[in-house]
C-alpha cells in the first residue's frame, strides 16, 4: 500500500538528486529507468538483508520512508568512494552495508525499521548508464507471544451461554488460532481451526468439559497457551438403578429370598451426586450402593434413589419396584377326592405359601400326562372306570426360587374287604346306633343307610356312618342296609343289619334240689340283635350279682348259668327270673326252684348215761334209734343244770360237745368233763341238713358205791376243809336227786315249734 502513497514524490526526488550524485556519468537514455519492487520480511530483533540488485552498482543511494509519511530520507549512499551511512541509519537498528554489495543488513531489527526502503542504483555499462529503482518494502514481523485463555466463567452451568477467548500480547497478524481440547482420556482433538480467537457458546453442555488450550500462529512462529480446565456444572440426571442379581418381571424387579441384593444408583452430575435411598418413602441409606444382605419377603416394596447436586441444589429421583420371591412351604400335598358323584377320581394337588405361586402338574394319569397344570392347586379328573386299583399319580411342583422340583404321590385304592355293619344301644337302651364302616380307601368311600323299604335314612358319610334311632319295638324284625359308593368299586357293596328283640328259653323251667347242694339255673338267649346280656333276678325279685358265697354267674354270649350255692330249704326256694332287654324289645322267663328237705331222722333215746368213775371226768353214753335209716350222724349237747337227775330243758344254753358221730355208732364216752359242774346231756340224729328231734335230757348217774372209800381216803389225805365241803355237797345232791327229776321238761318241746 505504501507504494501508492510514497511513489510519486519519492520518484521526483530521486530524479532531482541524481544529477548531483552522478557527475561525469553519461546517461544514455535517462527515460529507461528500471523499477523493481520487492517485499522483504524481517522479524523483530533478528537480522534482515535488503537487496539492491545482484551486482554492485557504480552509484547507489538508499532512502527510507516511514509508513504513513511522505518524506523520503537517505540512509546510505555510495558514489564510488565507499558507503556513507547517514544519521538516520543508526536509528534503524544496527544497520550496515554488506561489503562488495549494495545490500543492507539490519541486525536486531527494531519494530520501527519497518517501512519502504528505496535503492536508486546506477550501473555504468558499455551500452550506457542504467538506472534502477529498487523499492524494498520491509515488513517487521512480531512473533506471537504465548497466548492465554480467558473464560467468561470457569464453572458454567450446563445450558447457559459462555465464551472463551484466546488472548496474546504481541504478534503480527494474521494470527491463526487453533483450539485444542483434551478429554478425560488424554485424547487431544482440534476444533475451530481458523483465526477465531473467540469461542462463543450459546448453551454449554457437559461435553464441553475438559482441558482447553489455544495455539496462536503467525508467519513467524506459533505458541500454545497453558491448558485450562473448563468445568461444566450439571445434573443430576434422572438416576439409573442397577440391580444385581438382575431379574425383571412384568411388575418390576424381583429377587429371591435370602439372596444378597445390591442396588446401585447412578445419576450423572457435576459435582458428583449425593445419593439417598428410600424404602416405601422412608430413608434407609445414604450412598450410591445400597446392599441388602439376605433379603427377606418383607423387604418387598418401592425403592427410590434420590440424587442431589449439592452445588446447584437440584435433585432427581427414580423409583423401582422390587418383589422378593420366596419358596412355598414344605412340599406339595397330594390327595384324591371323589368326583362326579363318586364315579371319578379328582386328583388334587396343592402347594401354598410361595411367591409367586408354585406351578404344579400331574403325571401318571392314563393319557393325561402333563395336564391339570395350574398354580397353587391343581385338580385333575380321572375316570374311576379307567383306573386300576393301586394306580399311583405324581404331582410335580416347581418354583422359581428352587432349582429342583418337588413332588408328591397318591395311590388310588378302594377300602379293603367289605363294609362292616353293627348295631348297639346307648345306656339304658335309649338310642339305637347303627354303625357302618368301610375305612382305608383313597379316596374314602361314601356310606348311606337305607331302610328295608328303600327309604334313605340319615345323611351319607365317608368312611363310617352311624345312624342314630330312638329305641322302639317297631324296629324289631326290621332290616337296615348300608350301601357304599367308591370310584374304584363299580358294584356298590352293602351290608345288612336285622334288628331283633331278645328271645329267652330255658332247658328246665322247674328245678328241684335237695337242701345243701348247689344248683344251676340256665337261660339261653336266641334271636337277639343288637346283642344284650342276660340278667338274673332271685326269688325275692332282687337283681343277682356275682356273690361267690351264694350266687355265681357264668355268662356267655348266648347263654347264662346262675349257680345258687348251698341251697337252703327256707331261703332259696321260689321263682327266679332271667331277663334280657335290647333297644328293640325285652324278654323275661321264670325258673322255679324247689329246695327239698331230707326226711326227718329217727327219734333217739338215751339208754345209758353214767360217770365211769368217781372222779366224774368221763361220761359213758349209750343210745338207741326208733327206726333204722335216713340218718347221716349224731351230735351231742350239754347244758348246765343245777339239780341231778333232771329230765327237762333248764332253759340254759346248749353247748355242742360232739359234732358228728358216725351214723352206725350207738355209744360214746365223753372225756375231759369238769367234775365240779353238773351237766345234762341229749343226743340228736341228723340226716344231711335235716335235724331230728333231740333225745330226752339226761344227767349222768354215779358209778356204784365202791367209789366212796377213795373219796374219803383223799379227804383224810390232808385237805380237811375241802373234804368236808365235798361231803356236804355230795349229801345235798343225793338228797335232792328225786325232786329234780320230777320237774324235767324236754328242750325241743318249745324249740321245735319255732
Ligand atoms: C510487545 O511489544 C511491545 C512493544 O513493541 C514490547 O514493549 C513488549 O515487551 C512486547 N511484549 C512481549 C510479551 O513480548
Ligand atoms: C479471518 O478469516 C476470515 C475468513 O476465514 C477472513 O475473512 C478474515 O478477514 C480473517 N480475519 C483476520 C483478522 O485475518
Ligand atoms: C455471543 O453470541 C451471542 C449471540 O450470538 C451475542 O449476543 C453475544 O454478544 C456474543 N458474545 C460475545 C462475547 O461476542
Ligand atoms: C455429549 O456427547 C455424547 C456423545 O458424543 C452425545 O451422545 C451427547 O448427546 C452429548 N451430550 C450433550 C448434552 O450434548
Ligand atoms: C412397602 O410397600 C409395599 C407395596 O405397597 C407393601 O407391600 C409393603 O408391605 C410395604 N412395606 C412396609 C414395610 O410397609
Ligand atoms: C348320584 O348317584 C346316585 C346313584 O348312584 C343318584 O341317585 C344321585 O341322584 C346322584 N347324585 C347326583 C347329584 O347326581
Ligand atoms: C384352588 O385354586 C383356586 C384358584 O386357583 C381356588 O379358587 C380354589 O379355592 C383352590 N382350591 C383349594 C382346595 O384350595
Ligand atoms: C441350586 O443351584 C445353586 C446354583 O446353581 C447351587 O449352588 C445349589 O446348591 C443348588 N441347590 C440345590 C438344592 O440343588
Ligand atoms: C413317587 O413315586 C415314584 C415312583 O412311583 C417314586 O420314584 C418317588 O420317589 C415317589 N415320590 C414320593 C414323594 O413318594
Ligand atoms: C350251664 O348249665 C347247663 C345246664 O345246667 C350245663 O349243661 C352247662 O354245663 C353249664 N355250663 C357251665 C359253664 O357251668
Ligand atoms: C318222736 O318224738 C316226738 C317228740 O318227742 C314225737 O312227737 C314223735 O311222735 C316221735 N316220733 C315217733 C315216730 O315216735
Q: Which residues line ligand 3 (CB under 6 A)?
A: 163, 198, 200
CA of 603 to the centre of ligand 11 (A): 6
Ligand 9, atom 8: closest residue by C-alpha: 409
Residue 372: the pLDDT is 53
- Indicate the top mutation candidate among 348, 376, 395, 397 to test ligand 7's pocket, ranked by most ligand atoms within 8 A of CB: 376
CA of 131 to the centre of ligand 7 (A): 124
CA of 380 to the centre of ligand 7 (A): 13
Angle at 276 between CA 257 and CA 304, to 5 degrees: 50
Q: Is the CB of 146 under 6 A from ligand 1?
A: no
Pick the atom of ligand 3 nearest to 152's CA: 13
Q: Supply φ then ψ for residue 702, to 5 degrees.
A: -75, 155
User: Which ligand gives the minimal distance to the CA of 518?
Assistant: 10
User: Which ligand gives the minimal distance to the CA of 359?
Assistant: 7
Q: Is the CB of 300 under 6 A from ligand 5?
A: yes
Pick the atom of ligand 8 nearest to 402's CA: 1
- Indicate the top mutation candidate among 603, 628, 750 to test ligand 11's pocket, ranked by most ligand atoms within 8 A of CB: 603
Residue 621 buriedness (CB in 10 A; 0-12 / 13-18 / 19+) = buried
Q: Is the peptide bond before 356 cis (omega within 30 degrees of 0)?
A: yes
Say which residue the cell 438403578 belongs to.
Answer: 241
CA of 341 to the centre of ligand 6 (A): 6
> Per the structure block, which three cell numbers stand in for 663?
351214723
CA of 417 to the centre of ligand 6 (A): 24
Residue 433: the pLDDT is 93
- Indicate the top mutation candidate among 153, 156, 160, 161 to test ligand 3's pocket, ranked by most ligand atoms within 8 A of CB: 161
Alpha-carbon 484 to chain mean position: 39
Q: Which residues line ligand 2 (CB under 6 A)?
A: 173-174, 194-195
Pick the atom of ligand 3 nearest to 165's CA: 13
User: Which ligand gives the minimal distance to the CA of 335?
Assistant: 7
Q: Is the CB of 560 under 6 A from ligand 10?
A: no
CA of 205 to the centre of ligand 4 (A): 8
- In terms of residues, how long is the chain? 754
User: Which ligand gives the minimal distance to the CA of 199?
Assistant: 3
What residues contact 719, with CB distance under 8 A and at least 6 apart? none
Determine the 3-state secondary structure of 613 from DSSP. Answer: coil
Q: Rounded to whole angstroms, how far apart are CA atoms 650 and 450?
A: 83
CATH class as words, domain 333-412: mainly beta
CATH tag for 504-596 (out of 3.30.70.2190, 3.20.20.70, 2.60.40.10, 3.40.50.620): 2.60.40.10
Q: Rounded to whole angstroms, how far apart are CA atoms 204 and 233?
A: 10
Ligand 7, atom 13: closest residue by C-alpha: 377
> Per the structure block, which three cell numbers stand in for 573?
326256694
Pick the atom of ligand 4 nearest to 205's CA: 13
Q: Rounded to whole angstroms, how far apart are CA atoms 118 and 3?
A: 11
- Give the H or E element holding residue 380: strand 377-383
For the chain, residues with pLDDT lower than 70 are 1-31, 192-193, 365-375, 705-754
Q: Is the CB of 319 under 6 A from ligand 1?
A: no
- Indicate the top mutation candidate among 168, 172, 173, 174 to test ligand 2's pocket, ranked by most ligand atoms within 8 A of CB: 174
Determine the 3-state secondary structure of 665 from DSSP. Answer: coil
Q: Rounded to whole angstroms, how far apart are CA atoms 32 and 272?
A: 81
Q: Is the CB of 426 under 6 A from ligand 4?
A: no
Q: Beta strands of 556-618 (E only): which ranges? A: 559-564, 574-582, 585-596, 604-611
Ligand 2, atom 2: closest residue by C-alpha: 195
Ligand 3, atom 12: closest residue by C-alpha: 200
Residue 1: the pLDDT is 35
CA of 200 to the centre of ligand 3 (A): 6
Domain ranges of the chain: 8-141, 148-230, 240-325, 333-412, 425-438+447-498, 504-596, 604-691, 715-754
Q: Rounded to whole angstroms, how far apart are CA atoms 642 and 657?
A: 19
Residue 29: the pLDDT is 57
* Distances in whole angstroms, Cα of residue 304 to Cα of each of 256, 262, 265, 435: 20, 13, 9, 67
CA of 117 to the centre of ligand 1 (A): 25
User: Which ligand gives the minimal distance to the CA of 112?
Assistant: 1
* Distances in whole angstroms, Cα of residue 484 to Cα of each of 340, 445, 453, 711: 15, 6, 17, 107
Q: Domain 604-691 is of which CATH architecture?
A: Sandwich (2.60)
Q: Is the CB of 723 under 6 A from ligand 9?
A: no
CA of 627 to the centre of ligand 11 (A): 11
- Topology annotation, domain 148-230: Immunoglobulin-like (2.60.40)
Q: Is the CB of 207 under 6 A from ligand 4?
A: yes
Q: Is the CB of 111 under 6 A from ligand 1?
A: yes
CA of 695 to the centre of ligand 11 (A): 10
Angle at 505 between CA 504 and CA 510, to 5 degrees: 125
Determine the 3-state secondary structure of 454 from DSSP. Answer: coil
Alpha-carbon 629 to chain mean position: 97
CA of 182 to the centre of ligand 3 (A): 25
Residue 403: the pLDDT is 86
- Asked if residue 136 lies in contact with residue 51, where contact means CB atoms within 8 angstroms, the answer is yes
Q: Beta strands of 90-161 (E only): which ranges? A: 94-97, 104-107, 115-125, 128-141, 148-151
Alpha-carbon 250 to chain mean position: 28
Q: Is the CB of 522 under 6 A from ligand 10?
A: yes
What residues contact 747, with CB distance under 8 A and at least 6 apart? 639, 648, 649, 654, 682, 694, 697
> Per the structure block, which three cell numbers stand in for 126?
558499455
User: Which ligand gives the minimal distance to the CA of 204?
Assistant: 4
Q: Domain 8-141 is of which CATH architecture?
A: Sandwich (2.60)
Residue 382: the pLDDT is 87
Pick the atom of ligand 3 nearest to 161's CA: 1
- Indicate the top mutation candidate among 624, 625, 628, 693 to test ligand 11's pocket, ranked by most ligand atoms within 8 A of CB: 693
> From the CA atom positions of the chain, what is the Rg in Å?
79
* Distances in whole angstroms, Cα of residue 162 to Cα of each of 153, 309, 475, 734: 7, 21, 113, 178
CA of 600 to the centre of ligand 4 (A): 146
Ligand 4, atom 3: closest residue by C-alpha: 207
* Distances in whole angstroms, Cα of residue 555 to Cα of each of 428, 475, 525, 536: 20, 26, 11, 11
Q: Rounded to whole angstroms, how far apart are CA atoms 433 and 475?
A: 12
Q: Rounded to whole angstroms, how far apart are CA atoms 314 and 308?
A: 6
- Indicate the top mutation candidate among 301, 302, 304, 324 to test ligand 5's pocket, ranked by most ligand atoms within 8 A of CB: 301
User: Which ligand gives the minimal distance to the CA of 147?
Assistant: 1
CA of 328 to the centre of ligand 8 (A): 17
User: Which ligand gives the minimal distance to the CA of 601?
Assistant: 11
Q: Rounded to whole angstroms, how far apart are CA atoms 460 and 482?
A: 10
CATH tag for 240-325 (out of 3.40.640.10, 3.40.309.10, 3.40.718.10, 2.60.40.10): 2.60.40.10
Q: Rounded to whole angstroms, how far apart are CA atoms 504 and 567?
A: 25
Amino acid at each position: 500500500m505504501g507504494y501508492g502513497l510514497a511513489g510519486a514524490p519519492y520518484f521526483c526526488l530521486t530524479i532531482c538528486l541524481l544529477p548531483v550524485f552522478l557527475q561525469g556519468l553519461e546517461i544514455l537514455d535517462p527515460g529507461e529507468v528500471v523499477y523493481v519492487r520487492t517485499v522483504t520480511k524481517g522479524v523483530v530483533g533478528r537480522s534482515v538483508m535488503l537487496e539492491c540488485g545482484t551486482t554492485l552498482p557504480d552509484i547507489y543511494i538508499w532512502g527510507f520512508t516511514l509508513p504513513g509519511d511522505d518524506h523520503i530520507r537517505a540512509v546510505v549512499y555510495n558514489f564510488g568512494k565507499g558507503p556513507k551511512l547517514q544519521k538516520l541509519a543508526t536509528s534503524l537498528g544496527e544497520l550496515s552495508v554488506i561489503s562488495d554489495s549494495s545490500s543492507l543488513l539490519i541486525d536486531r531489527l527494531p519494530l520501527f525499521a519497518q517501512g519502504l526502503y528505496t535503492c536508486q542504483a546506477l550501473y555504468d555499462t558499455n551500452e550506457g548508464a542504467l538506472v534502477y529503482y529498487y523499492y524494498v518494502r520491509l515488513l517487521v514481523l512480531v512473533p506471537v507471544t504465548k497466548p492465554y485463555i480467558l473464560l467468561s466463567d470457569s464453572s458454567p452451568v450446563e445450558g447457559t451461554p459462555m465464551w472463551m477467548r484466546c488472548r496474546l500480547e504481541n504478534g503480527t497478524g494474521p494470527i491463526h488460532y487453533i483450539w485444542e481440547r483434551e478429554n478425560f482420556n488424554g485424547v487431544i482433538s482440534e476444533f475451530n481451526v481458523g483465526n477465531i480467537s473467540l469461542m462463543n457458546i450459546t448453551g454449554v453442555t457437559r461435553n464441553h468439559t475438559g482441558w482447553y488450550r489455544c495455539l496462536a500462529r503467525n508467519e513467524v512462529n506459533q505458541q500454545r497457551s497453558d491448558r485450562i480446565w473448563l468445568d461444566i456444572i450439571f445434573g443430576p440426571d434422572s438416576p439409573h438403578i442397577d440391580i444385581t442379581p438382575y431379574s425383571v418381571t412384568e411388575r418390576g424387579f424381583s429377587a429371591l429370598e435370602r439372596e444378597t441384593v445390591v442396588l446401585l444408583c447412578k445419576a450423572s452430575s457435576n459435582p458428583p451426586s449425593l445419593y439417598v435411598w428410600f424404602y416405601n418413602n422412608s430413608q434407609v441409606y445414604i450412598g450410591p450402593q445400597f446392599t441388602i444382605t439376605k433379603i427377606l419377603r418383607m423387604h418387598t416394596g418401592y425403592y427410590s434413589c434420590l440424587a442431589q447436586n449439592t452445588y446447584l441444589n437440584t435433585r432427581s429421583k427414580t423409583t423401582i419396584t422390587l418383589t422378593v420371591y420366596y419358596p412355598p412351604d414344605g412340599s406339595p400335598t397330594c390327595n384324591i377326592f371323589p368326583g362326579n358323584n363318586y364315579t371319578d377320581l379328582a386328583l388334587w394337588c396343592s402347594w401354598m405359601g410361595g411367591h409367586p405361586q408354585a406351578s404344579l402338574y400331574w403325571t401318571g394319569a392314563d393319557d393325561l400326562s402333563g395336564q391339570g397344570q395350574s398354580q397353587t392347586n391343581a385338580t385333575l379328573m380321572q375316570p374311576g372306570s379307567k383306573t386300576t386299583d393301586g394306580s399311583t399319580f405324581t404331582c410335580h411342583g416347581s418354583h422359581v426360587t428352587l432349582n429342583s422340583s418337588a413332588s408328591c404321590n397318591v395311590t388310588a385304592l378302594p377300602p379293603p374287604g367289605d363294609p362292616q355293619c353293627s348295631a348297639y344301644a346307648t345306656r339304658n337302651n335309649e338310642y339305637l346306633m347303627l354303625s357302618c364302616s368301610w375305612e382305608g380307601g383313597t379316596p374314602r368311600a361314601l356310606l348311606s343307610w337305607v331302610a328295608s323299604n328303600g327309604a334313605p335314612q340319615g345323611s351319607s358319610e365317608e368312611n363310617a356312618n352311624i345312624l342314630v334311632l330312638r329305641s322302639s319295638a317297631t324296629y324289631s324284625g326290621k332290616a337296615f342296609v348300608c350301601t357304599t359308593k367308591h370310584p374304584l368299586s363299580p358294584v356298590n357293596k352293602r351290608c345288612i343289619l336285622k334288628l331283633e328283640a331278645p328271645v329267652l328259653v330255658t332247658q328246665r323251667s322247674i328245678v328241684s334240689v335237695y337242701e345243701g347242694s348247689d344248683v344251676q339255673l340256665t337261660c339261653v338267649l336266641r334271636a337277639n340283635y343288637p346283642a344284650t346280656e342276660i340278667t338274673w333276678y332271685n326269688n325275692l325279685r332282687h337283681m343277682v350279682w356275682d356273690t361267690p358265697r351264694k350266687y355265681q354267674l357264668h355268662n356267655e354270649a348266648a347263654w347264662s348259668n346262675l349257680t345258687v350255692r348251698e341251697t337252703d330249704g327256707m331261703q332259696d326256694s321260689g321263682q327266679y327270673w332271667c331277663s334280657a332287654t335290647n333297644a328293640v324289645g325285652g324278654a323275661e322267663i321264670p325258673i322255679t326252684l324247689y329246695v327239698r328237705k331230707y326226711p326227718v331222722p329217727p327219734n333217739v333215746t338215751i339208754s345209758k348215761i353214767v360217770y365211769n368213775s368217781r372222779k366224774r371226768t368221763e361220761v359213758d353214753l349209750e343210745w338207741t334209734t326208733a327206726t333204722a335209716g335216713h340218718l347221716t350222724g349224731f351230735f351231742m349237747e350239754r347244758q348246765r343244770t343245777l339239780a341231778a337227775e333232771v329230765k327237762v330243758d333248764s332253759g340254759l344254753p346248749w353247748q355242742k360237745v360232739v359234732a358228728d358221730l358216725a351214723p352206725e355208732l350207738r355209744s360214746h364216752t365223753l372225756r375231759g368233763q369238769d367234775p365240779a359242774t353238773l351237766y345234762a346231756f341229749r343226743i340228736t340224729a341228723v340226716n344231711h341238713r335235716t335235724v331230728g328231734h333231740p333225745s330226752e335230757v339226761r344227767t349222768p348217774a354215779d358209778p356204784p358205791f365202791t367209789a366212796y372209800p377213795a373219796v374219803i381216803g383223799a379227804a383224810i389225805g390232808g385237805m380237811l376243809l375241802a373234804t368236808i365241803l365235798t361231803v356236804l355237797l355230795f349229801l345235798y345232791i343225793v338228797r335232792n336227786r328225786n325232786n329234780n327229776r320230777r320237774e324235767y321238761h324236754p328242750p325241743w318241746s318249745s324249740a321245735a315249734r319255732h
